Amino acid sequence: MKVLRGQAVVGGIGIGKARFLRRGKRLSPPKIIKGEEAEQIIRLERAIEKTRKELEELKAHIEETLGKEHALILDAQLLILQDKKLLDELAERILKNLDSAERAIKNLIEKYHGIFSQVEDYHIREKVHDIEDILRRIEKNLGEEAREENWDGSVVVAKNIFPSETAHIISRGKPEAFVLEFGGETYHAVILARAYGIPTVVGIENVETEIREGEEVVVNGDEGIVIVSPSRFQISNYVELKKSLQEERARLNELLLEPNETLDGEKFSLFVNIEFPAEAELISREVVEGIGLFRSEYLLLMNQRVPPEEEQYEIYTALSEKFKWVIIRLFDLGAEKKIADLPFHEEENPAMGERGIRYLFSHRDLLYPQVRAILRASAHRKNIKLMAPMVTNIKEIKNLLMVVEDVKGQLRMEKKPFHQDLPVGVMVEVPSLALMADRVSKIVDFLSIGTNDLTQYIFAADRANERVSPLCNPLDPAFLKLLRFTIKKAQDQGKEIAVCGEMASRPIHALSLLGLGLREFSVSPAMLPVIKRVLSSVEAQVIRKKINFALRLSDGQELEEYLRGEIEKIYPEIYRWIRRICHEKNRKTLGI
Ligand code: PEP
Ligand code: MG
């Protein structure tokens, strides 16, 4: 038995066998050797057959749920699948170039992109996405055996983990826990783990040598402890603890239907952040105001391909049918969110590089179809909002608004319906934008503060680097002052402003936001009932006074200690409850 200590980032207990992440297969599909051609062609034929069946099933489902006209797109795709020339070309690449089936597909996609990018007509140029979509489906089905790994019950052990890998794992079963060497509170894998309530510990040095694959591991995500090869006695204790924690969480859900109101009658709104459309299935529409942040880039990260406009349109429409409001954030790609099939420059400093809206402006073939899909989906219930990530200045907002107008013009010409007044908003994640909040608020419909990035840029500390990420303390007075300024400027202009960073999902932090005047919170789904209970158990005016005083203090630790002390004095019961539900008694890190 050995005990490893790290940073506790997602609470709860996980018990299972350690499993390491294998990676890299897809980035560069291999060549084959002579004699393997027939095997590759058989694989290809099987994958094509499987794709045909999938498309037919999808078509039947769409016809049944949305009507015949929506299923036409799939007819077009089925036709491409029957195109002999396309399939002959794949076979020829295998026979002549000795490409593996995956490599033949990758090269063919590149060839089509080359040809279609020369075409002037936008609509014809767009067709390449349909062909690519089919080829990607075939590719996916080629790798099905490898990919159908099930992570249920495993403890995932890795040095670092990309958002796409986390998404991939979570979509194939629920791991017991994550144990990582790198990362911090707002590392993307951690955000996902929190959304799904998967206990996570980061900052374990040499994790891949300290733990061996297949070893039994207990992960205590509340205390940042990992026990390798625990005794039977330890396991049975932890099994008991895990059960009682789960029961307490389940009881909390009953509270969700009560009104969102503080003890002194201030109303507040609760939204959730989601990464996958499937997550929406787990959230009941009655208990939230809507989706406050759909991290749409996970559509790409999940399947390692760019979903064509039509597919995006269907996904966005389905979300809008389920919720009162849906805020779709444009693809936030770049930095650690990349897929092999899109071009990204090598950057010295990717977190400050071409990411978010910057990347989209230089890759309009991604931006336009997404804006088209959002606008078209907004026609049905007029409850979709479009939000841009990583905006730095007013000029970028104006450029985005021009793109939206441009797309509206296209859709008018095509006689396709859309919501004329689609609300367009920005994430406030870059300090320069926060400092311009008054002018920003004049030209956008809403703002949402991304505290995960905003802290890393304010404190110049990489949120994904466990050595410096604790510097990104949202309770530092410097940060709270910037938030107070931003919230006030937006509210003065009568614009809605929310916080969708992880800060809103942590009880003491959410209370601070309430004290700063915030009334819209977009939180991690697993934390929804906790935040609801905390906010409805206090008087907004009392918290406001405490925060105003706290802002005079000089550092984050002092401020947090003061706030905790005051909350404990005024609301002892809720304070004890926060400590219990978040199991923070022994947490080494500050905050909950
Ligand atoms: C943020 O930066 O706070 C945010 C919500 O965006 P993401 O975590 O996806 O970068
Ligand atoms: Mg961000």
CA distance 50 to 56: 10
Which tens digit of pLDDT belongs to each residue from 499-537? 999 999 999 999 999 999 999 999 998 889 999 999 999
Which tens digit of pLDDT belongs to each residue from 371-413? 999 999 999 999 999 999 999 999 999 999 999 999 999 999 9
Q: Among 494, 550, 501, which Cα is nearest to 522's?
A: 501
Average pLDDT over residues 301-323: 92
Which tens digit of pLDDT belongs to each residue from 125-179? 767 777 887 888 888 788 754 445 678 899 999 988 877 778 778 877 889 999 9
Q: Which atom of ligand 1 is nearest to the CA of 293?
A: 5
Q: Which atom of ligand 1 is nearest to the CA of 295?
A: 9
Q: Is 332 in the pocket of ligand 1 (CB under 6 A)?
A: yes
Q: Which atom of ligand 1 is nearest to the CA of 389?
A: 6
Best substitution site from 190, 191, 355 to test ligand 1's pocket, by max atoms within 8 Å of Cβ?
191
Q: Which atom of ligand 1 is nearest to the CA of 451?
A: 3
Lowest-pLDDT range, 144-148, 186-190, 305-309? 144-148
Residue 592's pLDDT band, with cuts at 50, 70 and 90, is very low
Q: Among 522, 525, 65, which Cα is nearest to 284's?
A: 525
CA of 164 to the centre of ligand 1 (A): 15
Which tens digit of pLDDT belongs to each residue from 202-234? 999 999 999 998 999 999 998 889 999 999 998
Asked if 337 contacts 163 with a C-beta cutoff of 8 angstroms, the reply is: yes
CA of 356 to the centre of ligand 2 (A): 8
Q: Is 463 in the pocket of ligand 1 (CB under 6 A)?
A: no
CA distance 532 to 513: 13
- Residue with the nearest Cα to atom 3 of ligand 1? 450
CA of 451 to the centre of ligand 1 (A): 7
Per the residue annotation, which of 188, 419, 509, 583 is the catalytic one?
188
Average pLDDT, the chain: 89
Close Cβ partners of 153 (under 8 Å, ≥ 6 residues apart): 16, 17, 173, 174, 175, 176
Q: How many CB atoms lie within 10 A of CB 361?
A: 15
| CATH dotted code for 247-589 | 3.20.20.60
In this predicted structure, the answer to whether residue 53 has a pLDDT above a threshold of 50 is yes
Phi and psi at residue 251, to the nearest 5°? -60, -30
Residue-wise over 124-133: b if at least 16 C-beta within 10 A, else e? eebbbbbbbb
Q: Is 295 in the pocket of ligand 1 (CB under 6 A)?
A: yes
Say whether 3 sits in a helix, a strand or coil. Answer: strand
Compute CA distances 83 → 78, 88, 112, 385, whole Å.
9, 9, 15, 39
**What pLDDT does residue 585 have?**
47
Token pair 């770049």: residue: 334
In this predicted structure, the answer to whether residue 583 has a pLDDT above a threshold of 50 is yes
CA distance 110 to 342: 11
Which tens digit of pLDDT belongs to each residue from 470-504? 899 999 999 999 999 999 999 999 999 999 999 99
In this predicted structure, the answer to whether residue 453 has a pLDDT above a threshold of 90 is yes
CA of 590 to the centre of ligand 1 (A): 20
Say whether 582 sits in a helix, a strand or coil. Answer: coil
Close Cβ partners of 334 (under 8 Å, ≥ 6 residues apart): 344, 350, 353, 354, 355, 356, 358, 359, 390
CA of 329 to the centre of ligand 1 (A): 10
Q: And the tokens for 442?
A: 């004049």
CA of 450 to the centre of ligand 2 (A): 5
Asked if 378 contacts 424 with a C-beta cutoff of 8 angstroms, the reply is: no
**What pLDDT does residue 191 have?**
85
Alpha helix segments (H runs only) across 414-474: 431-434, 437-443, 451-458
Residue 30's pLDDT band, with cuts at 50, 70 and 90, is low
| Ligand nearest the Cα atom of residue 503 | 1
| Ligand nearest the Cα atom of residue 185 | 1
Phi and psi at residue 41, to the nearest 5°? -70, -40
Best substitution site from 295, 482, 509, 524 to test ligand 1's pocket, by max atoms within 8 Å of Cβ?
295
Average pLDDT over residues 279-298: 90
Residue 366's pLDDT band, with cuts at 50, 70 and 90, is very high
**What pLDDT does residue 584 have?**
58
- Crossing angle for the helix pair 163-170 and 188-195, nearest 10 degrees? 20
Average pLDDT over residues 357-379: 97
Q: Which atom of ligand 1 is nearest to the CA of 188?
A: 8
CA distance 3 to 292: 39
Per the residue annotation, which of 129, 500, 582, 583 is the catalytic one?
500
* Higher-scoring residue by pLDDT: 341, 372: 372
* Higher-scoring residue by pLDDT: 327, 42: 327
- Residue with the nearest Cα to atom 4 of ligand 1? 450
- Residue with the nearest Cα to atom 6 of ligand 1? 450
Which tens digit of pLDDT belongs to each residue from 65-76? 767 776 777 788
Q: And the tokens for 191?
A: 């955000």
Close Cβ partners of 36 (under 8 Å, ≥ 6 residues apart): none
Q: Is 336 in the pocket of ligand 1 (CB under 6 A)?
A: no
Q: CA 54, 57, 58: angle at the middle one, nearest 5?
A: 85
Compute CA distances 75 → 58, 97, 209, 274, 312, whole Å.
11, 32, 52, 31, 17
Best substitution site from 427, 454, 479, 522 to test ligand 1's pocket, by max atoms within 8 Å of Cβ?
427
**What pLDDT does residue 346 have?**
85
Best substitution site from 447, 452, 505, 524 to test ligand 1's pocket, by max atoms within 8 Å of Cβ?
452
Residue type, 517: G
| Ligand nearest the Cα atom of residue 337 | 1
Q: Is 429 in the pocket of ligand 1 (CB under 6 A)?
A: yes
Phi and psi at residue 334, to the nearest 5°? 105, 180
In this predicted structure, the answer to whether residue 436 has a pLDDT above a threshold of 70 is yes
**What pLDDT does residue 538 have?**
98
CA distance 172 to 219: 20
Residue 26's pLDDT band, with cuts at 50, 70 and 90, is very low
Q: And the tokens for 90?
A: 């794949």
In this predicted structure, the answer to whether residue 238 has a pLDDT above a threshold of 80 is yes
Q: Is 451 in the pocket of ligand 1 (CB under 6 A)?
A: yes
Q: How many CB atoms lie within 10 A of CB 44?
A: 23
CA of 464 to the centre of ligand 1 (A): 12
User: Is there a catalytic annotation at residue 188?
Assistant: yes
CA of 437 to the centre of ligand 1 (A): 18
* Higher-scoring residue by pLDDT: 177, 343: 177
Question: Can you say whether the dihedral through the CA atoms of 177, 183, 187, 189 is positive or negative?
Answer: negative
In this predicted structure, the answer to whether residue 337 has a pLDDT above a threshold of 60 is yes
Q: Which atom of ligand 1 is nearest to the CA of 332?
A: 9
Close Cβ partners of 322 (under 8 Å, ≥ 6 residues apart): 280, 285
Q: Is 453 in the pocket of ligand 1 (CB under 6 A)?
A: yes
Average pLDDT over residues 419-430: 98
- Residue with the nearest Cα to atom 9 of ligand 1? 295
Q: Which atom of ligand 1 is nearest to the CA of 502?
A: 3
Rg for the chain, CA atoms, rounded: 25
Which tens digit of pLDDT belongs to each residue from 90-103? 999 999 988 888 88
Domains of the chain by residue range: 1-234, 247-589
- Residue with the nearest Cα to atom 8 of ligand 1? 452
Q: And the tokens for 412?
A: 């008018």
Q: Is 500 in the pocket of ligand 1 (CB under 6 A)?
A: yes
CA of 242 to the centre of ligand 2 (A): 32
In this structure, which CATH number among 3.50.30.10, 3.30.530.20, 2.60.40.10, 3.30.1370.10 belongs to the domain 1-234? 3.50.30.10
CA distance 521 to 270: 5
**What pLDDT does residue 561 have?**
96
CA distance 459 to 453: 10
Residue 258's pLDDT band, with cuts at 50, 70 and 90, is confident
Q: What is the DSSP string of 320-387?
A: HHHSSEEEEEPP--BTTB--TTS-----SSGGGSS-THHHHHH-HHHHHHHHHHHHHHHHHHS-EEEE
Close Cβ partners of 470 (under 8 Å, ≥ 6 residues apart): 184, 589, 590
Residue-wise over 272-288: b if at least 16 C-beta within 10 A, else e? bbbbbbebbeebeeebb
Lowest-pLDDT range, 130-134, 418-422, 459-463, 547-551? 130-134
Residue type, 527: M
CA of 177 to the centre of ligand 2 (A): 24
Asked if 358 contacts 390 with a C-beta cutoff of 8 angstroms, the reply is: yes
Q: What is the pTM of this model?
A: 0.74
Asked if 409 contacts 368 with a C-beta cutoff of 8 angstroms, the reply is: no
Q: Which residues pair with 425 in a beta bridge?
A: 387, 446
- Residue with the nearest Cα to atom 1 of ligand 1? 450
Q: Which atom of ligand 1 is nearest to the CA of 503?
A: 3
CA distance 222 to 199: 8
Asked if 256 contacts 209 with a C-beta cutoff of 8 angstroms, the reply is: no
Phi and psi at residue 267, to the nearest 5°? -85, 150
Say whether 288 sits in a helix, a strand or coil. Answer: coil
Asked if 332 contacts 501 with a C-beta cutoff of 8 angstroms, the reply is: no
Say whether 284 sits in a helix, a strand or coil. Answer: coil
